[in-house]
């Protein structure tokens, strides 16, 4: 089985091969890699928010809805895209201790963090545009 896995890994993209190899070694290593990659994705967002909030121009928020309230509805509709994929949290329910509490807590915390990050990105972007 290991020889077959090595042959399969050699024919894949290097990034996919590394992630697959780590997951073959163990789920804990895969979880650690997933955490590191997630943090590496969030760092640029936090840097953007920090830099943009230092350059914010409050007059960019006046008038509140320059294109009418229909544009707010459109923005809300596009905002729902940020919540796509959270249903995948339940896929790992068999591998978690106390999934009844843990999954609900993880989903709530994740949605709160994503909502906060998206809101801060949009406010800082709109506020810092000249």
Q: Would the pTM count as exceeding 0.75?
A: no
Task: Kindly tell me if the per-residue pLDDT of 19 is higher than 80.
Answer: no
Percent of the chain at pLDDT exceeding 90? 13
Six token digits for residue 3: 């020889």
Indicate whether 48 belongs to any domain.
Answer: no
Domain span including residue 23? 1-43
Task: Kindly tell me if the per-residue pLDDT of 5 is higher than 60.
Answer: no
Task: Kindly tell me if the per-residue pLDDT of 108 is higher than 80.
Answer: yes
Instruction: List the alpha helices (DSSP H) in 2-98.
Output: 2-10, 14-25, 27-54, 69-79
Q: pLDDT tens-digit profile of 39-61?
A: 999 899 999 999 999 999 888 88
What is the number of structural domains in the chain? 2
Residues 6+ apart with CB under 8 A from 48: 121, 124
Indicate whether 50 belongs to any domain.
Answer: no
Indicate whether 28 belongs to any domain.
Answer: yes
Same domain, 94 and 125: yes
Same domain, 70 and 100: yes
Specify the pLDDT at position 46: 93
What's the alpha-carbon Rg for the chain, to the nearest Å? Answer: 20
Residues 6+ apart with CB under 8 A from 129: 57, 60
The single-letter DSSP state of residue 80 is: G
């Amino acid at each position: 089985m290991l020889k077959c896995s090595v042959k399969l890994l050699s024919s894949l993209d290097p990034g996919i091969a590394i992630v697959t190899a780590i997951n073959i070694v163990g789920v804990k290593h895969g979880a650690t890699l997933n955490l590191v990659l997630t943090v590496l994705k969030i760092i640029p967002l936090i840097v953007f928010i920090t830099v943009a909030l230092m350059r914010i121009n409050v007059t960019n928020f006046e008038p509140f809805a320059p294109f009418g309230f229909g544009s707010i509805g459109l923005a809300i509709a596009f905002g729902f895209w940020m919540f796509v994929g959270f249903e995948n949290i339940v896929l790992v329910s068999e591998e978690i201790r106390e999934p009844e509490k843990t999954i609900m807590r993880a989903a709530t915390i994740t949605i709160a963090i994503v909502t906060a990050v998206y809101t801060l990105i949009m406010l800082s972007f709109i506020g810092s545009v000249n």
